Amino acid sequence: MNIFKSEEELLKTIMHHDDLVQKCISGEVDFSEFCEQYNNFHSYYALDGHESDEEEQALLEKHENRIEPHRVIAYEILGQVCSDEDAERETYKQAGRFGSAEAIRRLKNVEFMA
């Protein structure tokens, strides 16, 4: 293990971040608060396994279906977000960038596995 002390800790951490997504899409927390609390989850915890030993890589692979939604959030949503002001600019639109309202709409479409 490198990042997580146990499978239980990994699953608990994933569930916590699943809950943060749900709180954002339900309006319980606003988008900026969500981003602050979510803290680039996929990258911060190196869920792609690049910092993990073989044991932890196997654990990440075992729970790939629970991790995949967070990869989508990291790269396909949060990686494309810009300020709401910039989201109105044509150059940002052409670059595929979008603001918080569109990010929340896309978060709602992410499929989570149990």
pLDDT in tens, 44-76: 999 999 999 999 999 999 999 999 999 999 999
- Establish if 1 belongs to a structural domain: no
Q: How confident is the model at residue 2 (pLDDT cuts 50, 70, 90)?
A: confident
- Establish if 94 belongs to a structural domain: yes
- Establish if 2 belongs to a structural domain: no
Domain count along the chain:
1
- Establish if 59 belongs to a structural domain: yes
- Establish if 113 belongs to a structural domain: no
0.95 surpassed by pTM:
no
Radius of gyration of the chain (CA): 15
Hey, what are 50's tokens?
């690049």
- Establish if 48 belongs to a structural domain: yes
Domain of 80, in residue numbers = 7-108
- Establish if 11 belongs to a structural domain: yes
Q: In this structure, are residues 27 and 33 in contact, taking their beta carbons and an 8 Å threshold?
A: no
pLDDT in tens, 26-46: 999 999 999 999 999 999 999
